[in-house]
């Protein structure tokens, strides 16, 4: 019996050690989610500056891969042109490579996972579980107001496009937030407040990750 118990302890220990290990280092990952116009980008820049995280945007990585002219980039570009969804594994591989190449061990992953399939694939492929999800919560009316203020051109077209983005966000991203909320891993921020006030709330959440003076 003792041997069995000790074997189980060893297996458990190995699982603990393996978890969140990437490229020989233990990484801290925070998913940053929120609808269009919630100010995620602004707050991510603040977190990078004050708390020493590296900001990774799935969209930026895909665009950079396309620009590189690699075989992978050409495949991604063709899929987007054909209106196909880029497979989760492709985006995850880019995120994984970016984290391994970077000397940092603290990462903000912005705008990913976009849906439950993304989420499951990320955890299965990388064996990384996020420390928490930073969720910027904002009413649809306020997001719409901000996005329209940023845009120029025909208002009706803009409103129609914006509302389509809201619909996709609600249908795809909210189930991801609900999944992590059930695991008590969601830190919700009221993103309708002015930027400096929002950052005060963000700072309170990230205080344990403050850079050493």
**Mind listing the pLDDT tens digit for each residue in 46-80?**
999 999 999 999 889 999 999 999 999 999 999 88
Whether residue 114 is annotated as binding a ligand: the answer is: yes
Whether residue 154 is annotated as binding a ligand: the answer is: yes
Whether residue 165 is annotated as binding a ligand: the answer is: yes
The whole-number pLDDT of residue 157 equals 45
Q: Residue 16's pLDDT band (boundaries 50, 70, 90)?
A: very low
Q: Tell me, yes or no, if the pTM score tops 0.75.
A: yes
Query: Which residue has better confidence, 31 or 145?
Result: 31
Whether residue 145 is annotated as binding a ligand: the answer is: no
Whether residue 104 is annotated as binding a ligand: the answer is: no
The whole-number pLDDT of residue 116 equals 93
Whether residue 193 is annotated as binding a ligand: the answer is: yes
The whole-number pLDDT of residue 211 equals 65
Q: Using the Cα atoms of residue 116, residue 179, residue 17 and residue 61 in order, give the sign of their dihedral.
A: positive
Whether residue 39 is annotated as binding a ligand: the answer is: yes
Rounded Cα distance, 204 and 194, in Å? 16
């Amino acid at each position: 019996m003792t041997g069995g118990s000790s074997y189980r302890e060893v297996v458990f220990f190995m699982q603990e050690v393996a978890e969140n290990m990437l490229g020989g280092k233990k990484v801290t990952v925070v998913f940053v989610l929120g609808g269009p116009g919630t100010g995620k980008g602004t707050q991510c820049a603040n977190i990078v500056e004050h708390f020493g995280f590296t900001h990774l945007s799935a969209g930026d990585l895909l665009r950079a891969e396309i620009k590189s002219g690699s075989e992978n980039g050409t495949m991604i570009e063709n899929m987007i042109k054909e209106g196909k969804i880029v497979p989760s594994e492709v985006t995850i591989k880019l995120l994984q490579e970016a984290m391994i190449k970077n000397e940092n061990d603290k990462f903000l992953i912005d705008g990913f996972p976009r849906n439950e399939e993304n989420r499951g694939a990320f955890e299965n492929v990388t064996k990384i579980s996020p420390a928490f999800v930073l969720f910027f919560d904002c009413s649809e009316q306020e997001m719409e107001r901000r996005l329209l203020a940023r845009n120029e051109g025909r208002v009706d077209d803009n409103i129609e496009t914006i509302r389509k983005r809201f619909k996709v966000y609600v249908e795809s991203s909210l189930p991801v937030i609900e999944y992590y909320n059930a695991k008590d891993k969601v830190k919700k921020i009221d993103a309708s407040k002015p930027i400096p006030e929002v950052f005060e709330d963000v700072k309170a959440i990230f205080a344990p990750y403050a850079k050493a003076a």
